[in-house]
Amino acid sequence: MERRDPVVVVTGASSGLGNACATYLAKRGYKVYGTSRNPGSYTKKADEFFELIRMDVTDDESVKAAIAEVLSREGRIDILVCNAGMGVSGAVEDSSMDEIRLQMETNFFGVVRCVKAVLPSMRAAGKGTIAVFSSLAGLIGMPFQAFYSASKFALEGFVEALRYEIRPFGLSAFLLEPGDFRTGFTDARRKAALASGSAYERWYEAAMGVQVRDERAGHDPLEAAKRLETLLTRRRHRIRYSVGPAFERLSAMLKRLLPGSAFEYGYRSYYKLP
């Protein structure tokens, strides 16, 4: 029989974790289509090993067009990797509603759009896998990244519910929850403007200083890519898999085990908050 390489769509594949995953999967023999809002804008070729096509996850028609393009070329999509995302930092009180909406439109509704676009073809084929990049911040609320955490918490519930709906059709979905990795995410994160004389400025600078330090000391994105590929070879999936620095993964376990007040005390202390 003719060998058919799995067809994969990886969103947000122009850089960071998405690029690492798309590149690694392509090297491992998968037929990979990466997506980007503007694939022609990169001076350094981001898609040396895979094809980069246009998709803006905040736009319904853009998502539908990109998925339709892959289906027209390949006839199927075996795997969807939802990675596209962005971050907004700032105090809740200082964050504008436009910034909050953008955070949710990209990180949560962007995943919803992509999943809805691939489900009809996967369901018709009776097979397909959906891997969604959440975050350990989807298990633990991050100070001064409330809306980033909210978007990831939303993904946790979304995928948990989705699994029940798609299982009868032979489809699978799971969450990959990374800790800190060395990517361009840190520099690309939007900062909500501190209100003049903001009461939060001191604590914002303290907490974000710790977060930026940890991000810059994070793991190599290739680690996440290898973990993803290992999971994609399995026939059955648990709902959640964490990846990244051990002490960050441990913190998620401690949240479940420790009394709430004890965990909050340790978390506040770590981020230099009163």
Task: State the catalytic residues.
Answer: 14, 134, 148, 152
Nearest to 194 by CA among 270, 272, 102, 99: 99
Residue type, 80: L
Q: What does the DSSP 8-state code read for residue 168?
A: G
d(CA 165, CA 161): 7
Which helix (H) or strand (E) segment holds residue 128: the answer is strand 128-133
Residue entry with tokens 């809805």: 116
Work out the angle at residue 36's Cα, subtended by the Cα atoms of residues 171 and 151, and round it to the nearest 5 degrees. Answer: 60
Nearest to 172 by CA among 229, 255, 232: 232
DSSP string across 198-254 = -TTHHHHHHHHHHHHHHHHT-B-HHHHHHHHHHHHT-SS--SEEEES-HHHHHHHHH
